[in-house]
Amino acid sequence: MSDLKKEKTVVLIKPDGVKRGLIGEVITRFEKMGLKIKALKMVWVDKEMAQKHYPESRTELMAAIGKKTLDTYAKYGRDPKEEFANLDPVAIGKMVNKWNIDFITSGPVIAILLEGIHAIDNVRMLAGHTLPVFAVSGTIRGDFSIDSPALANVQGRAVHNIIHASGNTEEAKYEEQLWFRKQDIVDNYKRTDEEVMFEK
Ligand code: ATP
Ligand code: MG
């Protein structure tokens, strides 16, 4: 049972969030939700680290990014051929992935390891839709960004959506070991609300 309270997820506040002074706003939301901070640091990563975070070799990930992009073009009745020479979702995903790598290396990021019940899903709900244009109010991306691939793709850059959050258990495990060393992680403190919320 106690393991349920120990699900972990990695959040990155991307360079747009850091440069716009939104670090506090973002962390506050996760703290208030009830997730426990297990590790937190500021880093300016190099290309090698960025490539490990956004691995081009994960074809299914590239396809998903490409599909989201094509869906946006369809929704707004725009022709993706104007921006992309190849309309294969994987090819589009790989192109976007390169922009992601440029973006995440363009300034410092805050890396946070969060823990709590359904941490992965809870964080993604609070983060909102990947593309801020579709993110509802109340979510981090909905409240603090208005960006859209419609503009980002013309400009050849990543969508500025403030944070990254692990997508599933497998991603969370991979990202935890990628971003944090054992000694970065604090394991043995209690938040006061744990007692109120979870002790019978
Ligand atoms: P993240 O992995 O950053 O938490 P996500 O899982 O919600 O976001 P992914 O589909 O993994 O979304 O996309 C990774 C990142 O790529 C997005 O956060 C966004 O910054 C960028 N991105 C996605 N689609 C596009 C696009 N069409 N044009 C530009 N950038 C995009
Ligand atoms: Mg993702």
In terms of Cα–Cα distance, which of 130, 134, 136 is closest to 163?
Answer: 130
In terms of Cα–Cα distance, which of 158, 13, 174, 166 is closest to 97?
Answer: 158
Of 62, 99, 130, the one to substitute when testing ligand 1's pocket (max ligand atoms within 8 A of C-beta) is 130
Stretch among 9-23, 72-86, 120-134 having the lowest mean pLDDT: 72-86
* Structural domain count of the chain: 1
Is the shortest distance between the CB of 96 and ligand 1 below 6 Å? yes
Per-residue pLDDT for 38 more than 60? yes
Mean pLDDT of the chain: 95
- Quick: pLDDT tens for 76-107: 888 999 888 889 999 999 999 999 999 999 99
Confidence of residue 199 (pLDDT cuts 50, 70, 90): confident
Segments forming the whole domain that contains residue 158: 12-50+96-186
Own/partner pairs for 70-78, CB < 8 Å, 24+ apart?
72/131, 72/133, 72/148, 72/149, 72/150, 73/149, 73/150, 76/150, 78/150
Is the shortest distance between the CB of 152 and ligand 1 below 6 Å? yes
User: Is residue 63 situated within a structural domain?
Assistant: no
In terms of Cα–Cα distance, which of 2, 22, 3, 13 is closest to 113?
Answer: 13
User: Is residue 69 situated within a structural domain?
Assistant: no
User: Is residue 16 situated within a structural domain?
Assistant: yes
User: Is residue 17 situated within a structural domain?
Assistant: yes
Confidence of residue 200 (pLDDT cuts 50, 70, 90): confident
pLDDT of residue 2: 54
What is the CATH classification number for the domain harbouring 147? 3.30.70.141
User: Is residue 57 situated within a structural domain?
Assistant: no
pLDDT of residue 89: 95
